[in-house]
Structure 1
């Protein structure tokens, strides 16, 4: 049985290549991973994938479109809508791209959130404008 450290060092794509015979089987597994995570199998850590499968009970249950399956949680129209609606809600001038986030502070007493991030060249730390987060 492989050790956890070994599984943590390989991608799902590597595991598929090492442990399946035949191109058809590899293709089916790769398509399954793409459908499940929405990314290529070489971007998913094998240990992470196994942890997700275990938490769901099985890969079959994870792939189920029943109420408790992961595919039931898909966003109709795609998840890019989430980002688009965020831009509309908070305004494009408040969006910082290509910045490494150092920490996020949430003050629940007054609903203020501060995002500490680095400048694009990582030379200095900055703090984004504070936002009042409405609790739902």
Structure 2
């Protein structure tokens, strides 16, 4: 036991390194938090505390890291930009009517640099060429649009 007490800081450092290496393979941040606790144990051993005190400090620091530090890190790592792919990314964008759109007859709009078949979202509307519209829905290859109010002086 005397040898352990004399070399506690080195042992805590070895444990921290081993846990850090194991964390690189697991990537779940549990072993990384335990490695931080081992580093706290090493610091307390370097400050002259005994093996039991440094073990308690390491355990408290590990539990604190697991409870306080890990959850926000996991949330941050697992969240990312919401990626809308395909036609879904066009919903909410604005386009310009190039061919008259009515409830009975589909027209055309220029949307994201392409010409799209379009119908009014509200079948009672008639939308004239040159008017700006917002895409509310995409069904197949048809955009369902609603006119945006224009400011005329």
Decide which structure has greater strand share.
Answer: 2
Q: Which TM-score band (shorter chain)? A: under 0.3
- Normalising by the residue count of structure 1, what TM-score does the alignment of the two structures yield? 0.22
Structure possessing the higher radius of gyration over alpha carbons: 2
